[in-house]
Amino acid sequence: MNVHEKFACFFQDKNIQPFAFLLSKKLSEGHICINRKKQYAEDLKNSIYEDVDFCWESLKDCKLISTVSESRKPFFMEGDKLYLYRYYNYEKKIVEKLKNLIDAGNSLAECRKQKLTSENEFIKKLRMDETGHSDLVEDEKTDWQLTACINSFLHNFSIITGGPGTGKTTTVAKLLALLFRENKQLKVALAAPTGKAGVRIQESLRNSVENNDFFKHSVLKEMIENCKSFTIHRLLGYRHNSPYFRHDEDNYLNYDVIIVDEASMIDVPMFCKLLSAVNPLSRIILLGDKEQLASVEAGSLFGDLCKSIAAMNQFSDENIEFFNGFLSGNSNISANNYEPSSELLCQHIVELKRSYRAKDSPEIINLSKGIIEEDDDRVKQFYNINYPAKIIFEDQSDHLINEYINNIKEYLNKTCIKEALNTLKNSKILCAVKNGPRGVYAINKKIEQILSKSKNLKTNKLFYENRPVMITKNYRDLELFNGDIGIIRGGEACFLRTDDSIYKVKPALIAECETVFAMSIHKSQGSEYDNVFIILPDKADNRILTKELLYTAVTRAKKQVVVLAKEEVIKSTINKSVNRASGIKERLK
């Protein structure tokens, strides 16, 4: 009997058991609820409920199901959807909190518009560089970065989304410049779902202000660089052996602005807890790529929020006129971007359209667009050619592994731990699956064997010197979290903190970790590497293979990406999409 069957058998009512089994099973696959309009015969196969008469009418008088949110029972029925009560409550709370934030922001909007108008000359200095972009399509010419910056200043809740290289962090730097100019004592928190994503947003923010001439001689530079970065767990204040956090609806976070990067990785329960801890008078800005993989846990929250509106970058006539007052004539928002709507998040989401990586890595950008747009012909251009982005069919896994080893083996000789970790970050092998000959475990074992044979590594013990490790559970007492990556040096596990310091712990304290020469695509979210080698499994019908998965893997690369897969696997993958059941989009509409 598997865990889902055991969960179902906990309930004495025989009518609810197959539904409880389904809810548990679908929740483990990322769905928030099950729907009367869907067929679930395949999901019931090979279970103890395979031959049960699966009838929604049998739930009509079930005493374990509530239809009134104040009545707490294990299950909740809303329209055609059946939830576990806890997840229904998360959805309900998220929407209520978003409404509170938006209402509070709306009450301050006119006052904020006046402040922005008084800073017109300063804001004009934040415009995008328009040189060398005459070949852009109409929508890419608009200065969406400055639009997103102004829009997030106006609202208490906003989303900035965009593909790789569109300048999400640059937009945040401009927003912070505006906010700090208004209030030099502003309390700002940067947050991310994982430690490595937290390190990356801080690094990206520093790079943005370092490489921007505007900030070089500005007092705002130091203020922006001093913004602290946290994992969401650490920001909320974890409690030992408790699912609850120190900060919640009764103890708000003491920050005026909270900026959350890699928001597509946040699951529904965590997002609910984060929103609950935000004072409605504070600002919260979500950053992420709406096309990326959804969270490993339940829900596809960020994607659902973005898809809750009919079209991106739609504003009222009044707001278009206001934004255009700060933009140059060539980068104005077109009148075509006016579409009256009553959707809750309309005018709260801005999608950045122009990719600044296109000049440096156009092949990677083109391949990623072909994947996410399900464009078979576009993807075919990358079959077996010698581009910085390419797809190869014949089994060259040994060649890829050797190329990867050549790229990273100098980390062994780096005495500086930070330099060693950065060298390991130059290249990464990403696998779609963990098990099997093309999975994470097999590839990691192969790399260890090669490095051991060449006497570069001595793998005679578990925590051998120079072993790269990734944490696979949350060690809250140690302030180490699932996905954090370190290296074994001098008998200690060494990790890079968000403030650039090295944090050391005894390996015995982090028993749940794994070698990370290769890692899963899911775990790679929030990271970037110069060179990425992607290995897909042989079977095209693998449930995990979707266009979002492959897009996420390809967009981890900055300079080179190589995909090793059979042609039928590539075709099948880019024509499958993640589609998780939830009620968020309907509630927001």
pLDDT by residue (tens digit) across 287-310? Answer: 999 888 887 777 788 888 988 888
CA within 13 Å, CB half, 387:
21
pLDDT above 90 coverage of the chain, percent: 37
Q: How far apart are CA 298 and CA 270, in angstroms?
A: 10
pLDDT by residue (tens digit) across 438-473? Answer: 999 999 999 999 998 887 788 888 899 999 999 888
- Whether the CB-CB separation of 261 and 285 falls below 8 Å is answered with no
Taking residue 72's Cβ as centre, other Cβ atoms within 10 Å add up to 11
pLDDT by residue (tens digit) across 245-257? Answer: 899 999 999 999 9
* pLDDT at res. 132: 53
Task: List the single range of 13-17, 333-337, 546-550 with lowest mean pLDDT.
Answer: 333-337
| Residue 356 pLDDT > 80 | no
3-state DSSP assignment of residue 371: helix
* pLDDT at res. 100: 94
* pLDDT at res. 394: 80
Comparison of pLDDT for 214 and 88, the residue scoring more: 88
* pLDDT at res. 359: 64
User: Is 392 exposed, middle or buried (CB count within 10 Å of its CB: 0-12, 13-18, 19+)?
Assistant: middle
* pLDDT at res. 520: 93
Taking residue 574's Cβ as centre, other Cβ atoms within 10 Å add up to 22
* pLDDT at res. 358: 57
pLDDT by residue (tens digit) across 105-163? Answer: 999 999 999 999 998 888 888 887 665 555 667 777 888 999 999 999 999 999 999 98
Instruction: Give 357's pLDDT tier (boundaries 50, 70, 90).
Output: low
Only one residue has tokens 């797809």, namely 391
Question: Angle at CA 522, nearest 5°, toward 406 and 260?
Answer: 110
Instruction: Give 500's pLDDT tier (boundaries 50, 70, 90).
Output: confident
Instruction: Give 532's pLDDT tier (boundaries 50, 70, 90).
Output: very high
| Residue 537 pLDDT > 60 | yes
Instruction: Give 279's pLDDT tier (boundaries 50, 70, 90).
Output: very high
Nearest by Cα to 429 from 564, 254, 551, 332: 564
Comparison of pLDDT for 20 and 201, the residue scoring more: 20
| Residue 568 pLDDT > 80 | yes
Name, of 275-279, 373-377, 411-415, the range with top average pLDDT.
Answer: 275-279
pLDDT above 70 coverage of the chain, percent: 96
Average pLDDT, stretch 368-387? Answer: 88
Average pLDDT, stretch 326-330? Answer: 79
pLDDT by residue (tens digit) across 26-38? Answer: 998 889 999 888 8
* pLDDT at res. 13: 86
User: Could you write out the DSSP letters of every residue in 146-212?
Assistant: HHHHHHHHH-SEEEEEE-TTS-HHHHHHHHHHHHHHH-TT--EEEEESSHHHHHHHHHHHHHHHHS-
Average pLDDT, stretch 487-492? Answer: 92
Q: How far apart are CA 501 and CA 89, in angstroms?
A: 40
Task: Show Cβ contacts of residue 334 under 8 Å, excluding neighbours closer than 6 positions.
Answer: 138, 142
Nearest by Cα to 354 from 378, 318, 330, 325: 330
* pLDDT at res. 483: 81
Residue 104 Cα to chain centre, angstroms: 27
* pLDDT at res. 498: 64
| Residue 361 pLDDT > 70 | yes
Q: How far apart are CA 159 and CA 416, in angstroms?
A: 38
User: Could you write out the DSSP letters of every residue in 396-418?
Assistant: -HHHHHHHHHHHHGGGGG--SHH
The conformational region for residue 332 under phi > 0 = left, psi -120 to 50 = alpha, else beta, is beta
Instruction: Give 217's pLDDT tier (boundaries 50, 70, 90).
Output: low
Instruction: Give 536's pLDDT tier (boundaries 50, 70, 90).
Output: very high
CA within 13 Å, CB half, 129:
10
Task: List the single range of 14-28, 332-346, 467-481, 495-509 with lowest mean pLDDT.
Answer: 332-346
In what helix (H) or strand (E) does residue 284 lie, and over which residues does it extend? strand 283-288
* pLDDT at res. 310: 84
* pLDDT at res. 360: 67
The whole-chain average pLDDT of the chain stands at 87
* pLDDT at res. 133: 57
